[in-house]
A and B are shown apart, each in its own frame.
Chain A
Amino acid sequence: MKNTIKKITLAASLVALPFIVSAADSQGGSLMMAATTAVSSAEITGSVPEKLSVSNANVFNRLLKKEKDPNAAPPDDGYHDPANDATTALQPPKVAYEGLPTTEFGNRVDWVKALDSGKLNPRYDRQDPDVEPFVMDLDIVRPVKASVPDVVFPHKPHTQWLHCSNCHPKIFVPQRLSNQINMSAIILGQKCGVCHGKVSFPPTTKSCKKCHSKEKPANWKPPLSEASVKNPWR
């Protein structure tokens, strides 16, 4: 008898666990509500489990938000109106992405590989499908002071999609190393960030090395901060 009860309890908690975890994952708010529900149920039965009576502020992920489905169909994406008749006529991204090479960020599609492998061949001209893009294969290496690998800017994948005038001269003067670029500007949507972080793949932990792709020499060491080097109390 005792054993069956233990088994039932275990089963019930196992069923509940993923949902508790997913609630914590998706939004702090859900866990807070789940916790409140739990406490009030305990009140009905007369004993408040110690663990649940702590502050609701101490959720596991206070700020991490994870997308459950990054390629949701239009009626579920949060800005398409499901009440609009035509919304259901729109194509769900997943249907179109089938068979395309994948990544872990942005659209979850590797658009560069999709072109290179010939799986996609979008038009370069509005009407004529046979116009070939004007591709230029020129890499620009940008040495980076920080410990991350140096940046290689490849003209090839860019000119496969874009026109020179999309970048030159408004975003970048066409001259090696004569543009000031830094990571904060990119994240805020300037320089490379005009596109990366909006339409082309975004800067995020798993994509850093797409741009930072040239390893530092083996003997490279990060420069030391002067304030600490000069500190007599060290």
Chain B
Amino acid sequence: MNANTERTAAWKLALLGVIVWVGATLMPQPAQAEYADVVINNYADAAGMRPVVFPHWYHRIRFRCKVCHADLGFKFKAGGNKITMAKIIDGKFCGACHNGEISWSVENCGMCHSGIPGTPTHIAGSTVQQLVAPAYKALKK
């Protein structure tokens, strides 16, 4: 190989590198879930509200599981408690705390209703969802 062809080859390679670099940086990155965040969307979408995102990590720093899952009666099932605003303002479920006394009050709609419209009820980062061959129908991220 003479110096000339080697030089063109080198430039081609450099160009290629730059193109791949630009391509790779412009690529959308995969979504990053915080483990155990629960998206609740039995009714929200249908009522024109954003789905609810419940952060487990944030609450378990302040309360033990027992408070919600034994005392307040939350069942261990995403979407399984059929929570509605009527129950919340009667002091049940989220309303046992989001009442302006233990935590901020219910008029802060956007704090709870913060999900991307159309996101189905699910728990983020769960083992079943991350299996390489999904045991259930995979959720679109």
Complex Cα distance A77/B66, Å?
27
* Contact A78/B127 with A65-B30, A166-B69 known, Cβ cut-off 8 Å: no
Interface size on A, residues (CB 8 A): 82
Neighbouring A residues of B92 by C-beta, 8 Å: none
CB distance from B87 to the nearest CB of A (A): 16
Residues of A within 8 A of B124 (CB): 77, 79
Chain A residue nearest to B117 in the complex (CB): A81
In the assembled complex, B94 has its CB within 8 A of some CB on chain A: no
A199 touches B36 (CB 8 A): yes
Interface contact A163-B70, CB-CB below 8 Å: yes
Q: Which residue of A lies closest to B115 (CB)?
A: A79
Q: Taking CB as reference atom, which chain A residue is nearest B135?
A: A188
Count of chain B residues with Cβ under 8 Å from any Cβ of A?
Answer: 73
| A106 with B66, Cβ < 8 A, contacts A42-B16, A86-B110, A198-B123 known | no
Q: Is B85 an interface residue (CB 8 A)?
A: no
Residues A27 and B115 in contact in the complex (CB < 8 Å), given A161-B66, A195-B76:
no
- Residues 26-56 of chain B: 1 if any A CB is under 8 Å from the residue's CB, otherwise 0? 0101111111110100000000001101011
Nearest to A133 among chain B residues (CB) is B64
> Which single residue of chain A is at the shortest CB-CB distance from B41?
A79
In angstroms, Cα B109 to Cα A89, docked, is: 12
Tell whether B102 is near chain A: CB-to-CB under 8 Å.
yes
> Which of A1-9, A136-144, A174-182, A221-229 sits within the interface?
A1-9
* Residues on the B chain within 8 Å of A165, using CB: 70
A202 lies within 8 A of B60 (CB): no
29 A-B contact pairs sorted by A residue (CB < 8 Å): A16-B18, A20-B24, A23-B23, A30-B24, A34-B23, A34-B24, A65-B30, A67-B32, A70-B35, A74-B53, A77-B124, A78-B33, A79-B33, A81-B115, A85-B110, A90-B55, A107-B35, A122-B61, A122-B62, A122-B64, A123-B63, A124-B66, A126-B102, A133-B66, A160-B64, A162-B69, A166-B69, A189-B126, A199-B56
